[in-house]
Amino acid sequence: MSVLSGKKIVLGVSGGIAAYKTATLVRLFIKAGAQVQVIMTPASKDFVTPLTLSTLSKNPVHSAFFNEEDENAQWNNHVELGLWADLMLIAPATANTLSKMANGNCDNLLIATYLSAKCPVYFAPAMDLDMYKHPSTISSFSLLQKFGNIMIPAESGELASGLSGEGRMAEPENIITFLENDLESKLPLRGKKILITAGPTYEAIDPVRFIGNHSSGKMGFDIAQSAANNGAEVTLVSGPTALSVSHPNINLIRVTSAKEMYEACHQHFHNTDVAICAAAVADYRPKKVAEQKIKKAADDFTIELEKTEDILASLGKIKENQLLIGFALETENEIENAKLKIQKKNLDLIVLNSLQDEGAGFAKSTNKITFINKDFVVEPMPLKSKQAVADDIINKVIVHYEKNS
């Protein structure tokens, strides 16, 4: 999965021959899972049609502040476009557009949106070699980078003039690679290894039956996705679920029983920076597992149980510098029981779920949690989607490393 997946991108197209490459660029953004809004300068429409870019982006193309031919036309709000974007890319960025950006010469919708943008701005210059080396162009490059904009250097090759040299806009594939590498290098959990457990465990009674619970694993899988999206290398140990992963930074290890999950966690914990135990591990398992299916014969049937390994407590005992986060699902005395778990299991943070809260619990798309840290600071959170809750949990990890950096 590309780091561009889910990103909102404003693509600004200015009037140079390289504008024809933006059709491929938009297609690659969409293929990577991004949302794209295109803004064209009036001159750029001589090189590529708005219809082409609108079709590929699946959004209307913006070029003017309003449609002069329609007196009832809605204003294209450059402020909203600038605030909507997670990143803005101006490609091709001609010498004319670069000069306007550097000097705040706001005479079209593209420059107005650029001046309103609160997101990272990238620009990919495209011009003839003499223009590229001209002192005024070099001054524009320098000013724009001082402003915090990021330059995607032009490439060398055959130019529209027939000359060959530097000034050719980077190829669309290379622009995508540049953006991905730059974004990944700035992810807050880049270089961190995170161990996450998810789902239920199944404890066998016989070859057919087991003791389990209703956990779908969604919470743990969403945490893994959020961690990977923020640059972490994730090991996800999951009990039986119907869920799968697609992010290349997530290594999924499937297990069935509490014992298997315990062994997998201990195999990876020593090389881990953070462990988040979100699995609903069975507390007990049958002491003896029948080799054959148990027949329904007697009116009464008793199964002798024994405790399973307490994975979270065992990790707390051997914890060194790892950040250890646990979950607590309670039905009564929630805060008090969660605080006891923090002490007994040597946790840094606990995520409390209460089955008393509507929208929380198993097999739901939402969750309502309360954070309690090792200093017993209680932070209740509103009902959110499980993905939003996962982001909140990972944000706690990010804040921890920001404070200790």
Residues annotated as part of the active site: 213
Distances (CA, A) of 26 to 5, 12, 30, 38: 13, 11, 6, 9
Cα–Cα dist 350/367, whole Å: 15
Closest by CA position to 247, among listed 224, 218, 264: 224
Cα–Cα dist 49/243, whole Å: 42
Three-class SS of residue 330? strand
Cα–Cα dist 212/257, whole Å: 9
Cα–Cα dist 276/349, whole Å: 9
Cα–Cα dist 222/386, whole Å: 7
CB 145 within 8 A of CB 151: yes
What's the token pair of residue 100? 């306007």
What's the token pair of residue 319? 């914890």
Cα–Cα dist 379/14, whole Å: 49
β 366-367/384-385 pair status: antiparallel
E strands within 308-396? 323-330, 349-354, 366-367, 369-373, 378-380, 384-385
Cα–Cα dist 349/398, whole Å: 13
